[in-house]
Structure 1
C-alpha cells in the first residue's frame, strides 16, 4: 500500500539533483518503504510507455512486401512479364498469356518466401533479445521484486546493490558506501561516490552525486532511489537520440556474401547476353515469337543463376543455429557473432564457477594436535572424517576440529537448506562450506544451536575478519567468535586451544600455525582460521555492543582448508578445445598456487608450471607482455587493467579471443575481447550487457560446446552456398552448352522450332523456385557431419568461397549440365544417341534430370570431403524438402494444367528411370572426387584447407 493518492499528478521535467529526495517522493506519490502498487505501476507503464530507448520505426508490413520486389533480378522478371504480354498482344491476344502468368506467379511466390524468411529471422532475434533482457530490483506492493528494466516507471523505488546495472535515471534516497561507474555516460574512468544530499547550484552531469543514471553500473555499496526519468527522458536517452540513425558495420561474412551476389549478378547477366546472342546467331530467329522466346530465356537464366534469396536464407540459417545454441545454455546476442565464435583460437576463462563448481568445500582442518580430512564435495553434507587413510578416532583432534567448525558456523551469515533432496545455499559459498562440514561431524550443529547471536562486526576487505557475539541460551555465557585470514587472525591471538587446555601462543606455536597454513596453501586450499574470546561476568555488559576493539586477546582454534573442486566435465572440455587447436588460459584473481593447481588438474597447464601474477605483468614492457601472452597458461591475482593487457596482447598476435567474466571489473575485458562471455547465473547485469554471449549454466564445457556449434553453423552456411551456387551453375551450363552444341545434340531444328532450347524460361524459373529455398533452408538444421573439432580454428581473414570451393562448384555444375543435355539427346531423334521421342518429351526429361540432379547435389553438399552416405538420414528436414520437390516435379510433369503452363509432357517409367540414373551421375562424380581427395590427404597431419 502507498500512503499517497493512487493517481499521480503531472510531473514537469525538473533538475532533480537540485531538489530534496522527499520532493521526488511527493511528486511521484510513492511510499519509499512500500513502493508503487502493481496496478499503479501498470497504469504508468501504459501512460508513459516502456523504459526502452527509441529504435528505428518498425517497418510496416506493406513496405516489407514491397521491398521483396526491389531487387534488380526481380526487375528482370518484371521485364520478362512485360515482354511476354507484349508478344501475346501483338499475336492477337488469343488464349491466356501462359508465360506471363507463370512468371508472375513465380515472382509472387518468391516474394512470399522472402517475407517468411525475413520474419523468421526477426522473430529469432527478438526471442534472443528477450532472453538477455536486463532486470532491476524494486519495491512493489511492499515487497522486493525483480522486474524487467523495460517495465520501470516514474516513481519506482530502485534497490541498488553491487554489480547491478542502473535501469533508469533516479534520485537517491539513501546510500551506503555507494560507488557507481559512469564511464559509459561521462567518460570518467574513476567510479563516483554517491551521496543523497541535495546539491546547491547547478553542477555538471559528472558531479551530480545524488543521482544515478540509466546504463551506469554499481561497483560498490548499496542504495535506494526513486525513478525520475525513463526511456528517452534519461541522460543516456538524450545521447541515443543523436545516435539512433547510426548504421552498424556489416561483418566480414555479410560483406563477402554481398560481394559474391554482386559478382554473380554481373557474371550471369553477361552470360545471359552471350547466350541470347549465340542463340540468335546459331538459329534462324525471324519471328517476333522466336525473339520473345530468346529474351525470356535470357532473363530467366539471369534470374535463376543468382541466389537472390541468399541474404534471407543466411539470416534464417544463423537464427536456427543460434536458437539451437540457446537451448544448450549458450545465448549469442548477435547472430553474426557466430562466425567469430567458430573462429576462436584462445579461450581465456575465469576459474571460479566456470572451471570449478563454485561450491566451496572444506577438505582439511588443522589444529594444534593434528589434522583431519573431510571427504565429499559440494553442498550435500555427506562424507567421511579421516586421519590418514582411516576413520578419525583421536578424541582430542576431533574435539579441536569440532570447535573450529562450530566457530566458523556461528560467525556466519550463510544458510544451508534442503529442497526435494537437493541442498542449496544462500549467502557466501565460503561461509556455507562451514555449515556443510559441520554436519559431517557429530554434535557440531547441536553445539551451534545452543547459542544465539547478540551482535556482529561485519567482514571488510581491509580488516579481513568477521566476528559474531554468541550468547549461550541456557547459561548466558558470552563468547566472541572470529574467523578470517590466518595471518591477520594470528596477529590478534595471544593463546591457543590444545584439547581442553588453553596455553600461551608463543613464537614456536605461532610459527607452526603459519607453517600449517602454508602447507595447505601449497596444496591449493584457501585458508580461513577461527578464534574466540570468552567474556567473564565483569565485562558482560560492555560486550553487549561489540566493535573492532573486541577482536583482540583471542584464543586460536585452528585453520580450515577450503577448495572449490574442478568441474569433472571441464577437463574433458579443455582436452576437446586443445584437439580443436584452441588454446585455453586461466585468468583469475585467486591465489597463484591455487590457480596453478586447478589449471594443472584440468590440463590447462603443465604440472609444475607457475602462474604469472598481475604484479609481474605490471613489471613487463611491451615485448615481455607479448612473450607472456604467447606462452603463459595461468594468470593469477590480476587486476581489471591486467585482464585488458592480456587480451590486447593476445589479439595483437593474431588470435581471436573468447573471454569469460562475471564481475563488474570483468566488463572492460569482455567488451575488448572478440567474444565476451558473461555468466548467466553469477554474472552481473553489467557483464551481460558488455558481452556478446551469455552462459546459462556458467559452465566452461558449454563454451567449448558453443564453439563446436559455431563451427557447425559456419559449415552449414558453406553447405548451402556450395549447394545453391553449384546448382545454379548447372542451369547456366545446361542452357549455354545446349545452345552451343545444339546441332550435336539434335536440338537444331527439333520439333520444327527455329529456336529449339534445352529448357524453357518457365522451366528455369520452376527449378529455381522448387530446388533453391527448401533444401538450402533445411541445411540450416543439418547436424555435425565432419568432425569440426579435429581442425584448427578458421581465420577471420579466410574466404568463405575459396579457390577449391569455386572449382568444386564449377565442376559439379558442369556435370549437371552434361547429364541433363545427354538425357535430352537420348530421347531426341538425331544427335549422339538416336532417340524416338518428341521435343516436348525429351526436354521434359532433361528438365526433370536437372531437378533431380540438384536434389542429389543437396546431399553431396553436406560435406566437401565426407561421403554423402555418411549419416545420410540424420536431417529429416532435408529429406522432407527433397520429397516435396520430387512431388512438385511429378505434378508439373503429369498434371495437364501445369503441363500447359510449363511446356512439359508426361513421362513413362522408362523415362523416369533414365532421368534418375542420369541425375545420379552428380552423386557418383562427387563421391569419386571426395574419395580421391581423402586418399591424397590421408597421411597429412594438418587439416584440409577451408574451401
Structure 2
C-alpha cells in the first residue's frame, strides 16, 4: 500500500470517528460481515448481497437499499451557518473604513451635544450620519448575502446538470443512473473512459486496466481479473477489486458493488472536516487591483486636500479636525463601488445559467472570462461536427458492392446492388452471401446494443459506429446467424491498435471457436492472409490488397468511414489448442488480450463497410461565424485523411483542395519549430493518436493562442485538460473527460461552442459596461468632493464667515448613490443584450486589461463632466456663487446649503442614470437599441423612485440632509444631468469619425 494512504488515514481522528459511527456505514459493513470480498468468490459475494449478476437489482430493491444505505457520496464538511455567511459580508477593508467613519460621526455628535448651549436650539437630536452609515452597511450586507446565495444556487444547479453517471445492470437491462444513486449489490458495467463510482468485486473482465494512482500512487494502470485471491494483499495488489475514484483506461468488465459513499476505500481515508476555499477569479483579482489603485489615489487626494486646508486655513478646534477626517472618509466612500464584487458574481452566475439553457454547461464561473478569448477551437469530427447518426450505406465484398437503404438507427432497409443490377442474378446472390458474412463479423465483434423501448423508439447503447453495424446486420437478417454464437473472449479496440477482435463459440457446431475482427481496413488487412470469395476461401494476393486499398481510398473520398471485417475459424473448442497461445502450468489460458499476436493472425478478409455520418447543417454557418470572429477551427479526428478533408471542406474549415495531416506525418516533424510551423497552417488532422492531440494543443498554445479543445473518449482527457478551455461531450463523453473539462456540451454540437463563445464575449462586454458605468460614476463623485472642497469659496459652498471644512456632499448621500441607486442599473447592464458586433472583432488576449487606456479615458472624461454639472447645480442655489447670487438672508445659509446639496445629490444621481444609457457601448450611440434592455429601464425607474423617497419622506430628509425640491429645481436637475449623455454622444461621434478615417 502506498505511504500516502497511511498518511491520509490519520488526517482527522474526528473524521474517522464520525465515519465509524455512521449508521449507513455500519449497515453496509454488516452485509458481508467479516468476509473480505477479494478473498471470496464472485458467486459467494453475489449471494451475500442477494443479487443475480446477470440481472442486477430490481428498481424497487435498489430504491429500498438507497433509503437504507444512503447516497453514494462522500460526507462533506458541515455547511457554513447562514449567520456566519452574513457576518462575512462585513469582512472588507472598505467596511472597516465606513465603521471608522461611523465612530468619528458619533464622536462628533457627542462633542457637538456637549458643547451645545443649554436651552438653545440647533444640533441633531440623534447622530443621523452614523445611523445612516450603519443602516446602509446592513442593507449592503443583506444584498450581498442574497446575491451570493443566488450565485451559489446557480452553480449548484449546474453541478446537478453535470452530475456523474454510472452504467449499471438493473432488471436485466444496462442503464445510466446518477452515480449518487448506486447502492451495494448493484452490478456496475465498466468500459474504457469510465470513472469507477464505488468499491466492487469483479464478476468478469476483458483486458480491463484501471488507473489507481489517485488511491494507491501507482502510476501504471493495473490489470484486473475476477480470479479469487489466495491471500490478503495490499490495496494496490487486489486485482479482483475495483475502487471508487479510479478510472478505466482499457477494456471492459462488470463488478458487484460492495461499498458506497463513506464505506469505500476513499471514504475511509476522507477528511470530512476539510474545506476548500474558493479561489478568486482573475477578473475579481483585477477588480481588487482597481479598487486598490482607486483607494491609493483617493488617499493621496485626501492627504493633499487636508494639508492644503491645514496650511491655508488651519484647524481651529476639534470640529475642524473631525470635519477633515469625515472629508477623507467621504472621498474614500466616493471612490470605491461598494457593491462591485457582489454584482460581478451575480452577472457571471446569470451568464452561466444562460449558457446552460443553450446546452453549454460551464463548470466554473471564471471560465466564462476565458471563453470570449478563444482564438482556436479544436474539434473532433464525429458527433460534434456531424450528427453522430452513423449509418452503414455501402458494403464492399470481393465479388461486388451493395447499398444499404434506410438511415438512422431504425433497422428498416434492404440491400441494393450498387451497379443497378437486379437481386435475382447469381452474382447478386453471391454478393449477398458475402455481405451477410461481412456484417456477421461486424455485429459479433461489437460492444454496442440496439433495443426498442415501450413506445417503439429505438435506443442505442455504446459507440454509434458499432450500433450502425448492428442495424445493418438486422436489415439483411445477418443477426439471425449471430444468435448461434456466444462470446468467450475479447481483445478490445484501442486507439493504438485500431482494431477489435472477439472469440466466439458456435453453439450449433460442437462449440468450435471462431475469431471475428473489425478495424481500420488498412490495419486489419495487414493481419489477413486469406480472402473469402463466394463460398470459397483462397490466398490473399497482392492484387487483392491493392484493389481493397483503392476501394478504401474511393469510399473515403466520398466521406465514408470504412471498417474492414474479417474472421478466422479456429477448428477447435479450446483456445489452449490454438498454436502460439500461452497457457500456464494448470493448462489455463493467460489473459486473452495478451494473446493478440497468436489469435489475430492468418485472418480471412470478408469485406468492408462504408459508414456515413452526415455533417450537421448548422455547423457550416457556425464555422463561418467563428472565422468572422477571428477564431480558427481545427478538426482533429481518427478517421481517414480523405474522409476528414471531405467533411472539413464541406463545412468550410478548409478549401475544397485542402489536405489533412496525419499522425505519422506529425511524428516525422523533428523539432518544436517544425511542429509549430505545421500547426500554424494546417487545420485538419487525421489518423491521430492521443499524444498527437496533446502535441497539437500545446503547439497552438506556444503560438499565443487561447485553445478550446473538444473530446469524448478517455484518450482525449490529457488534451482537454491541457487546453485553455476543455470541452467535453455531454452525451457521448466519458466521465474521465467530463471531469477534465471546464465546459460540457449537453448536445455534443460544435455550434454550441461558437454560441458559448459569443455568449462569453457578450458577458465580458457587459462586465465592461457596468465597470465603465460604476467607475465613471465613482470618479465623478470623487471629483465632485475634491473640486467642491478646493473651490468651496469660489462656488459659494463655503460662506466668507464660515470656518472649517464644508463638503459639497455628505458621506451618507454618497453611500446612498453607490449602494442603492447604482446597484440596480449595474445589475441590469450585466444582462444587457448584445449591442456591439461582438463576433466582428478579433479575440481578446488574456493579457489585455479589462479596463484599458481607452476605457479609462471614458471613465475620467465622464467623471469630470459629472462633477462639473453637479457643482454648477449647487452653485445656482447658493449665495456668492459663480452663476447665481441668491440672498442668504431669506432662508439662512444652513437651509440654503441643504437645498444646494439636495440639488447636487439629485443631479449626480440623474447624471449617473443618463450615464447608464451612455455606458452600454464605447462607440455606438445610446439611442441605438435604446429600449432593448427592459431591465435597465426598470432599474432606472427604481432608482428614480428611491431618489424621490429620500427627498420627500420627512424622516429621510434628516437622515440624508435633503429637502423637497420645486418643479423648477427638478427641471434644472434633469437638464444639467442630461449634459452627461450629450457629452458622451459627442465623444462617441468623434471616435466613430476617427475610426472611419
Q: Distance in 1 between matches of 2:688 and 2:605?
A: 34
Aligned to 1:921: 979
Q: Does 1:523 align with 2:543?
A: no
Equivalent pairs counted in the alignment come to 909
Contact 1:589/1:639, CA 8 A, preserved across alignment:
yes
Aligned to 1:329: 359
Q: 1:808 to 1:239 in 2, by over 3 A?
A: farther
Q: 1:638 to 1:495 in 2, by over 3 A?
A: closer
The answer to which of 171-180 and 660-669 deviates more is 171-180
Q: Does 1:598 align with 2:635?
A: no
Q: 1:503 to 1:326 in 2, by over 3 A?
A: closer
Q: CA deviation at 1:88?
A: 2.7
Query: Secondary structure of the residue that 1:770 maps to in structure 2?
Result: helix
Contact 1:751/1:839, CA 8 A, preserved across alignment:
no
Query: Secondary structure of the residue that 2:562 maps to in structure 1?
Result: strand
Q: Does 1:343 align with 2:392?
A: no
Aligned to 1:71: 92
Contact 2:212/2:222, CA 8 A, preserved across alignment:
yes
Q: Deviations over 1:524-579 (max 9, x none)?
A: 32235679999xxxx9x99xxx99999999896x6543221111111111111111
Aligned to 1:84: 105
The answer to which of 276-285 and 88-97 deviates more is 276-285
The answer to which of 401-410 and 669-678 deviates more is 401-410
Contact 1:454/1:468, CA 8 A, preserved across alignment:
no
The answer to which of 130-139 and 486-495 deviates more is 486-495
The answer to which of 455-464 and 162-171 deviates more is 455-464
Q: Distance in 2 between matches of 1:909 and 1:419?
A: 73
Query: Secondary structure of the residue that 1:348 maps to in structure 2?
Result: strand
Contact 1:51/1:153, CA 8 A, preserved across alignment:
no
Q: Does 1:827 align with 2:877?
A: yes
Q: 1:23 to 1:401 in 2, by over 3 A?
A: closer
Q: Alignment partner for residue 119 of structure 1, among 149, 173, 188?
A: 149
Q: CA deviation at 1:153?
A: 5.1
Contact 2:690/2:716, CA 8 A, preserved across alignment:
yes
Q: Alignment partner for residue 295 of structure 2, among 258, 262, 265?
A: 265
Q: Distance in 2 between matches of 1:22 and 1:532?
A: 33
The answer to which of 232-241 and 929-938 deviates more is 232-241
- TM-score, structure 1 length as denominator? 0.85
Q: Distance in 2 between matches of 1:330 and 1:559?
A: 37
Q: 1:738 to 1:349 in 2, by over 3 A?
A: same
The answer to which of 71-80 and 241-250 deviates more is 241-250
Q: Does 1:105 align with 2:142?
A: no
* Mapping of residues 408-419 of structure 1, within 5 Å: 412=443, 415=450
Aligned to 1:38: 62
Aligned to 2:777: 727
Q: Alignment partner for residue 882 of structure 1, among 905, 930, 940?
A: 940
Q: Deviations over 1:777-817 (max 9, x none)?
A: 22221122111111111111111122221121111111100
The answer to which of 588-597 and 289-298 deviates more is 289-298
Contact 1:712/1:784, CA 8 A, preserved across alignment:
yes
Aligned to 1:906: 964
Q: 1:521 to 1:95 in 2, by over 3 A?
A: closer
Contact 2:758/2:838, CA 8 A, preserved across alignment:
yes
Q: Does 1:214 align with 2:249?
A: no
- TM-score, structure 2 length as denominator? 0.81
The answer to which of 85-94 and 766-775 deviates more is 85-94
Q: Distance in 2 between matches of 1:140 and 1:481?
A: 31
Q: CA deviation at 1:428?
A: 4.8
Q: CA deviation at 1:925?
A: 1.1
Q: Distance in 2 between matches of 1:355 and 1:832?
A: 69
Q: Alignment partner for residue 352 of structure 1, among 382, 388, 412?
A: 382
Query: Secondary structure of the residue that 1:121 maps to in structure 2?
Result: helix
Aligned to 1:475: none
Q: 1:584 to 1:186 in 2, by over 3 A?
A: farther
Q: Alignment partner for residue 717 of structure 2, among 663, 667, 671?
A: 667
Aligned to 2:40: 20
Aligned to 1:583: 632
Q: Does 1:804 align with 2:854?
A: yes
Q: CA deviation at 1:222?
A: 3.0
Q: Deviations over 1:861-889 (max 9, x none)?
A: 22212222222222222221111000011
Q: Distance in 1 between matches of 2:564 and 2:109?
A: 96
Q: 1:895 to 1:688 in 2, by over 3 A?
A: same
Q: Distance in 1 between matches of 2:101 and 2:545?
A: 95
Q: CA deviation at 1:709?
A: 1.2
Q: Deviations over 1:758-781 (max 9, x none)?
A: 212222221122233212222221
- 5+ residue gaps, structure 1, are 1-5, 473-477, 940-947
Q: 1:876 to 1:296 in 2, by over 3 A?
A: same
Q: 1:784 to 1:384 in 2, by over 3 A?
A: farther
* Mapping of residues 191-590 of structure 1, within 5 Å: 191-199=221-229, 203=233, 205-228=235-258, 230-231=260-261, 234-236=264-266, 241=271, 244=274, 250-276=280-306, 278=308, 286=316, 292-364=322-394, 378-379=408-409, 396=425, 412=443, 415=450, 425-426=460-461, 428-430=463-465, 432-433=467-468, 453-455=483-485, 461=493, 484=518, 496-497=533-534, 512=547, 515-528=550-563, 560-590=609-639
Aligned to 2:842: 792
Contact 1:416/1:432, CA 8 A, preserved across alignment:
no
Query: Secondary structure of the residue that 1:797 maps to in structure 2?
Result: coil
Q: CA deviation at 1:242?
A: 11
The answer to which of 886-895 and 400-409 deviates more is 400-409
Q: Alignment partner for residue 866 of structure 2, among 811, 816, 822?
A: 816
